[in-house]
Amino acid sequence: MERFYGSFEYSLDAKGRIILPARLRSHFESRQALVSLYVDRCLAVWTPDEFAVYLSRAQLMEERGSEGRNLARALSAMSAPVEVDGQWRLTIPANLREWAGLQVDSPVMVIGALNRIELWQPELWRQRMAPSLDSLADGTSLLFSDQPAATSASAAGQ
């Protein structure tokens, strides 16, 4: 499994391209990537192998009724293969930029997020991260708990 980490701020150029930070390039030697919408209104940049895992999970959602089918449709329809050019830039499709609120000639947060890279509108990134960073700073984060994180089964009372 790929592991991505770090945060970087770059700008989308006039053609909707963003530079892939040097620290995050090693898993893209094939110069192939996939971009998709992701939770919290960001975009995810996947290696081909990790995208296959992501799509497998999306396919399982189809068995969960109408909402699951619609989510699977959205995930597949709002995903696109992209090439990494010779200058390590990715062209982000316009429909995905629009969904995530990314503007050309504007800053974008490029975040290493374990098995994917995330692209965020900077203000949305700061808003989303503020509560977690506060809990980390004051020691109330789950990272400091002796208890394992609740699983979905235990959280549901099973």
pLDDT digits (tens, 9 = 90+) for 103-126: 999 999 999 999 999 999 999 999
Which run of H or of E encompasses 119?
strand 117-120
In a domain, 17, yes or no: yes
Question: What is the tally of structural domains in the chain?
Answer: 1
Q: How far apart are CA 113 and CA 133, in angstroms?
A: 15
Cβ distance 20 to 89 under 8 Å? yes
Q: Confidence band (pLDDT; 50, 70, 90) for 154?
A: very low
pLDDT at 142: 79
- Residue 133's identity, in one-letter code, is L
Which run of H or of E encompasses 42?
strand 42-46
Helix H segments across the chain?
48-61, 65-77, 94-100, 122-137, 152-155
| pLDDT tens for each residue of 3-46 | 899 999 999 999 999 999 999 999 999 999 999 999 999 999 99
CATH number at 61 reads: 3.40.1550.20
In a domain, 156, yes or no: no
Residues of the domain holding 17: 7-145
